[in-house]
Amino acid sequence: MRLLILATLITVLRAVNATAVGSTAADPVLIPNNHPLIYFHGRWDASPGTWWGGSGLKLHVENLRTLSLHLGPHTTAPSASIGVSVDYQPFFQVNVSTGANIIPLIPAKKNNDDRKTSTVVRINAEGWQNNRVNLQSIQLNTGAKLLPYSTSKLTFQFIGDSLSAGQFLPQGVDQAWPFLTGEAFKAEHVVVAQPGAALSDIVSYGNEHGLSFQFFRTEDDGYFYTTDHNFTTPWNFARDVPAATHVVIHIGANDAAQNVTGNAFEQTYLNFVSRLRTIYHAQPIFVFTPWGWPNADGSIGQYLQGSYERIVHARHALGDRNVFLVNTTGWVTFADVFPDNQHPTVAGHQKIAGLFEAWLKDWGLRPESHWGTPFTA
């Protein structure tokens, strides 16, 4: 009788222990912000928090059903707009704020044999301002497992001003021509662009610095108005993994607006490219000419005419034949811009992206046939 009672007690204890283990296994999966399998792109500070529109992260997750972002106090208040793409579908907008934020996901697809699937989730800050996302942790559903994210063989680095940052677009940089070009080529892409900024290191439309200074910093010029981060820190380009394979520059409108002379602009641009060459030693650099400011009467307001051609010729004279002029004359008409500010509309950016994609293909670049990290359906 005593042996029977002892056996029964052991069975009960085993059941309790199994229940305890089961409840632990049922807990959500919490991913700390320093997890090595989070792929960060763009510019993040030590908090970690985003700067520059388009900065974000990518996750490759097995058996994903739910995802929440836990954000810290440096997140833009009352909210920041982020773009979310699941399994490389079009980006959609989600507003997030300090605290827990549930990110809507398309239900995970499964094979006929019901095996676990993997999902790729891409997230970025959309805005050209009010774009700070301070990541504390990521929460996934029970049974989810973070997998490595493999990058594309192509990586674009775009450098520019409002015409590249997606100013005035509903989804910000996610609808801008640099972002669209990167997507079309199934490439990684980083956009360092600041509305109102000149290339020259001068005060311009609220920017304390020009891109010839700010490009080499972690922060965008929003730092100047942020009481908890009113300083800049050098950007460690070793964090750009992989390094850019192609560099695209479209800038100069604000230099012209601030009455920077052609000669001064050209010298600044040449110094900038020389400094870029200490980072991107042999990568192709594409120098955009301005498409100008289209007017209702069909005329185009031009600026810094001839400067871009002289810049490219000067680099060639130094033996750097891997700098190329992209002549955008005629790319943008009045029908492609907002009438009140002459910046490209959503359709205008799509048109520019299409023209640049065609230019790149004629130049010899082909889109990747597939993304670096495939998902399993």
CB atoms < 10 A from the CB of 36, how many? 7
The answer on pLDDT for 5 being more than 80 is: no
**Residue 310 corresponds to which tokens in the numbers above?**
């002289």
Q: Fold for domain 30-147?
A: Jelly Rolls (2.60.120)
In terms of C-beta density within 10 A (0-12 exposed, 13-18 middle, 19 or more buried), how is residue 270 classed? middle
Q: Are 276 and 285 in contact (CB under 8 A)?
A: yes
CA separation for the pair 42, 189 (Å, rounded): 8
CA separation for the pair 39, 376 (Å, rounded): 19
- The one-character DSSP state at 198 is -
The answer on pLDDT for 155 being more than 70 is: yes
CA separation for the pair 127, 103 (Å, rounded): 18
157 forms beta bridges with: 190, 247
What residues does each domain of the chain span? 30-147, 155-363
Model confidence at 377, in pLDDT bands (50, 70, 90)? low
Evaluate whether 30-147 and 155-363 have a shared fold.
no
> Helix, strand, or coil here: 25?
helix
Count each helix (H run) and each strand (E run) in the chain, helices first.
8, 17
CATH code for residues 155-363: 3.40.50.1110
| End-to-end alpha carbon distance in the chain | 56
Cis peptide upstream of residue 28 (ω within 30 degrees of 0): no
Tell me how far CA of residue 283 lies from CA of 83, 240, 244, 273, in angstroms.
29, 14, 8, 12
**Residue 113 corresponds to which tokens in the numbers above?**
């044999």
126-142 residue pLDDT tens = 999 999 999 999 999 99
Low-confidence winner among 5-14, 203-212, 320-329 (lowest mean pLDDT): 5-14
159 forms beta bridges with: 192, 249
Q: Which residue has the tokens 């955008």?
A: 328
CA-wise closest residue to 333 among 376, 295, 304, 369: 295
> Helix, strand, or coil here: 135?
strand
Query: What angle separates helix 307-317 from helix 262-276, to the nearest 10 degrees?
Result: 40
Query: What angle separates helix 346-363 from helix 177-184, to the nearest 10 degrees?
Result: 50
19-76 residue pLDDT tens = 333 334 578 999 999 999 999 999 999 999 999 999 999 999 999 999 999 999 999 9
